[in-house]
A and B are shown apart, each in its own frame.
Chain A
Amino acid sequence: GESVGLHLPTLSVQEGDNSIINCAYSNSASDYFIWYKQESGKGPQFIIDIRSNMDKRQGQRVTVLLNKTVKHLSLQIAATQPGDSAVYFCAENTNAGKSTFGDGTTLTVKP
């Protein structure tokens, strides 16, 4: 079936560096994409979203890029901090109210 997947299960960066987390999706009908952050022992928390009529969206220290041609989504975190250490999930929405989540990328920030 169609699903959202992540290119790398783990990512380790130095504090202060930029982080890039990637996501591949396979459902060309998906028109809404969300990045979530999940800290240990907690539920996922919304970071940023993007709709399919956009290529880029910026938030505070985070940027999401959407490439519909190759069905690729990325999350960029600027000046990564220890508090950014978590598991990051991308999710895609088609119609009928459902989200499909990828397996997640674990980001570790080294001091």
Chain B
Amino acid sequence: NAGVTQTPKFRILKIGQSMTLQCTQDMNHNYMYWYRQDPGMGLKLIYYSVGAGITDKGEVPNGYNVSRSTTEDFPLRLELAAPSQTSVYFCASSYSDRYEQYFGPGTRLTVT
């Protein structure tokens, strides 16, 4: 099993551009999450999903959108990128909210 995969690994965006961060898991997990991690800080939840077709906001959803059309995929869309969105983005999945999360390797995004 590949676990949780994320693409791209690195990306530089100009202010106002848009992009989609891809996340795929092959563990048949229902729960999927997107976090951002700023330098020296913990993880902040952006969006999460408890199953295909169901998404909900986390702590810091502004400026982001998600969709969950399949169990495997949970893409994160950035519209009108801003410097404040410079961060490392992690996708994770879990069997349920009472089990551990498996994290992808992260996407390092810089907005200039």
Contacts and interface: CB of A to CB of B under 8 A. Distances in A.
A26 to B, nearest CB: 15
Contacts of B48: 97-98
Interface string B99-112: 11111111000000
A43 B42 contact: no
Find the residue from B35, B100, B105 having the highest chain A CB count within 10 A.
B100
A25 interface: no
B41 A93 contact: no
Q: How large is the interface on B (under 10, 10 to 19, 20 to 34, 35 or more residues)?
A: 20 to 34
Interface residues of A, number: 23
Contacts of A45: 103
A45 B102 CA distance: 7
Contacts of A104: 41-42
Interface string A59-103: 000000000000000000000000000000100010111111111
B26 interface: no
Contacts of B104: 43
Contacts of A101: 35, 42-44
Interface of B: 4, 31, 33, 35, 40-45, 48, 50, 56, 58, 90, 92, 96-106
Given A41-B106, A96-B56, A100-B45, 7 more contacts: A44-B103, A49-B100, A89-B43, A93-B98, A98-B97, A99-B97, A99-B101
